[in-house]
Structure formats: C-alpha cells, structure tokens
Amino acid sequence: MKRLRGILTACAIVTANNIILAGTPNTNEVLNVVLDLSDGSRLIGTPGFATVPVQTTYAKMEIPLTQIQTLKIGDDHETVTLNLRNGDTLTGVISLKPIELKTVFGTASIGIEHIQQLDIVLSGGTGQKGLVLWNRLGSESDVKNSRVGPDGKFNAGRFVEGRFGKGIELNMQEQFGVTFPSEIVPGPDGCIEFWARLVNFPADIRQPGGAWPSLIAGVDDKGPVGFLMHFCANDGGSAGGLCFQVAGNGGTGGYGSWPYAKALGASTAEGWHHYALVWAGDGIPGVDNGKRRTAIFVDGKLNTGFWNGEGGSLIIPKTARFGLLAHQGTPSGSVVFDNLKIWSYAKTGFNDRDRE
C-alpha cells in the first residue's frame, strides 16, 4: 500500500468559534474537532482544514470532515480507521504534518504521532441528526465531557476494560454513579442505547419482585422516579424478564421464573450486550404493527413481548436526573457500562451498534 505524503487540504472559512464548511450541501453546518491525545489529554476546537486524504488499497480519497464520525489512528501513526456518518467503515493510510486546531486557549499545532483519535461534532454539539447525547463513559474526563450534549456528573465507580476502550463499572452500592440533567431526555419520541456487561450476577432473577437491578432510571433525592429499565421476575404489573416502566410497563414476557440469560434472549448473560429503550407517542414503527409505544431491544432484536398499559413518552421531572444503575434489594454484582447515546426519535435499527 502506498503511503500518502502531504498536508491536509485547507479549504474552509474559519471563525473564532466554529468552522463554516464551503462546498457542502448545508453551508450553515457548524463543525468542531475533538482530539484524544496519547498522554490522556483532550483538545476541542475548530480545524483549519475540511478534508482528510486517505490512501486505501483501491484508491486515493479526499474524505470531507462532515462525513466523518470518528477517525482512529494506529500505533504506526499512519494507518487509520474512519467510521463514516452513513454507516461505512474505511481503512487506509495517511501521512500528515501537524494539525492546526483553534481552541479557546489559542491555536495549537498537534503532530499526528500524538493523536489517538479524532471525533467530529456537527451543528454546535448535536452530532448526527437526532443524536442529543453521546458519552463514551471511558474515564472521569469522558463522563464530565460528553462528545455530544450535556456533560455528566461522576459520582462513583471505576474504569475497567469496556466494549470500546474503557467503560465504567458500578456495583450495587454505587447507585447512580453517573448522572445527567433531566433535559437530556428528548420528549415524546426517543431512544436510549448503551452497552453493558453483568458481572458476578446469579443465574436467576430473584423472585418474587424486590430484587430489581435497574440499568437506567430517573432519580431524585428519594430514589428512582419517572422511569425504570430493570430486570425483574414479577414487576407487580404481570411482566417479567428485562422490564420497563414508562407510562405503563412491560417486559420480555409474563411474570415467573426468569434466568438473566433468558431475559436477554441469549445463551448466556455473560459478556457484552447492547441495550436500547425506545419510545414513541404515536407508536413505534414496526413493533406490533405500530401499536406499542415503548419497547426494549437487546443486541439489535426486539426483546419486549409483553405490555401492560399504554406506554408512551419517557418523562423525567425537572427536579430529577437521568442516571446509570440503581438497585432494589440486589446484594451483590456489578455492571460495566460503555458508549451511552440518546436520540430524539424512536430508533429501531442498531446495525451501527458495533461502532463507537
């Protein structure tokens, strides 16, 4: 594979706070670059370039920054993997002179050998269309500096091997180890998705109800409020398995004996699983002919098979917060979370879940 030599093409109009890209369909698109550096530092600013030149096995390409979601740089400082906004993944080689980045502290010149990852944030922090939150959960700095949307608050936990890099592990004594403001939840339609791994959980969900490990929930000073996404053998509304309480309730199926693996629709509860809580005020397209307003997907497949009540909009009181991990009576075990995203529409396609 030939190595591409040269500097990134500078073809943008730069202002003090953002970059307005020329030659794109939306000339008002605002773009910022987030650089993760090899020493653990992070820089956020506006770039003086609009395209990234990449030499692949097949062709030399100029990839517009507006089409890039994440660019990861290999240990050789030349090989790169680009995750594009249309779902494509591209691997190639670049050889770049230092990147100029205008930050609030002045202009920085960063050599490619110091960069581990480059993320593109569009439209003043709204990212991909409909993406209202993206937090990588890989470090205390990650929690406090969301890639898209409002920043989180780090309350407890430790950072361990995650699904992508690091993730945050919370045990059953660390309720709501990470919280976000209530306005993070978008309203009538939405989707909350994340990766999680159960650690040292028993084989079966405790029965009767009373041991409800909740992966996500609303919370105020008195405990969970507004909504729950939790494991339960009998939630009091005839549901069992992986359950939700969102303007109604539902679960994997009816109440009864529920091993965690069965609740996940998997051969084992061990390892990483992708979770998504989806809601739509007028019904979720494709779920029970659009009649259901709330549902859970696991590993890209519909997990909810039982509903009780109308379901509908997920609402957190303004005095409350959105939080990761609550428990009700579970004495042991922990959960590792990674790559939390919230969308302002009822997302039901998760073929992109394997990309950060």
| Same domain as 311, residue 277 | yes
Q: In the beta sheet, which residues pair with residue 160?
A: 167
| Domain contains 349 | no
Q: What is the CATH number of the domain that holds 288?
A: 2.60.120
The pLDDT assigned to 313 comes to 80
| Same domain as 189, residue 162 | yes
The pLDDT assigned to 329 comes to 66
Instruction: State the DSSP code for 112.
Output: G
Q: Which of 122, 152, 169 is the last residue of a domain?
A: 122
Q: Is the peptide bond before 186 cis (omega within 30 degrees of 0)?
A: no
Average pLDDT per 10 consecutive residues for the chain, totaling 356 residues:
29 30 38 81 80 86 83 86 79 81 82 84 57 92 88 94 94 88 84 95 73 83 80 90 91 93 92 96 90 95 92 81 80 91 92 87
| Same domain as 232, residue 91 | no
CB atoms within 10 A of CB 337: 25
d(CA 249, CA 308): 5
Residue from 210, 206, 203, 143 nearest 178 by CA: 143
Q: In the beta sheet, which residues pair with residue 62?
A: 53
d(CA 296, CA 301): 9
Q: How many domains does the chain have?
A: 2
87 exposure class (CB count in 10 Å sphere: 0-12, 13-18, 19+): exposed
Residue from 202, 180, 164 nearest 336 by CA: 164
Q: In the beta sheet, which residues pair with residue 253?
A: 240
User: At a CB cut-off of 8 Å and minimum separation 6, what does 258 contact?
Assistant: 204, 205, 207, 231, 232, 233, 240, 241, 252
d(CA 295, CA 236): 18
| Domain contains 90 | yes
| Same domain as 155, residue 101 | no
Residue from 109, 131, 108, 128 nearest 120 by CA: 128
The pLDDT assigned to 130 comes to 84
d(CA 151, CA 322): 12
| Same domain as 217, residue 187 | yes
| Same domain as 217, residue 313 | yes
The pLDDT assigned to 274 comes to 97
At 335, which helix (H) or strand (E)?
Answer: strand 334-343
Residue from 24, 95, 28 nearest 65 by CA: 24
| Domain contains 350 | no
C-beta of residue 340 within 8 angstroms of C-beta of residue 134 = yes
| Same domain as 138, residue 42 | no
Q: Which of 122, 157, 192 is the last residue of a domain?
A: 122
Residue from 279, 292, 289 nearest 348 by CA: 279
| Same domain as 201, residue 136 | yes
The pLDDT assigned to 221 comes to 74
* Angle ∠(156,166,213) on CA atoms, nearest 5: 50
| Same domain as 289, residue 271 | yes
| Same domain as 242, residue 142 | yes
| Same domain as 270, residue 194 | yes
Q: Which of 60, 95, 122 is the last residue of a domain?
A: 122
> What is the domain extent for residue 317?
131-343
Residue from 91, 102, 97, 104 nearest 12 by CA: 102
d(CA 96, CA 290): 50
| Same domain as 189, residue 84 | no
CB atoms within 10 A of CB 39: 7
The pLDDT assigned to 193 comes to 97
| Domain contains 16 | yes
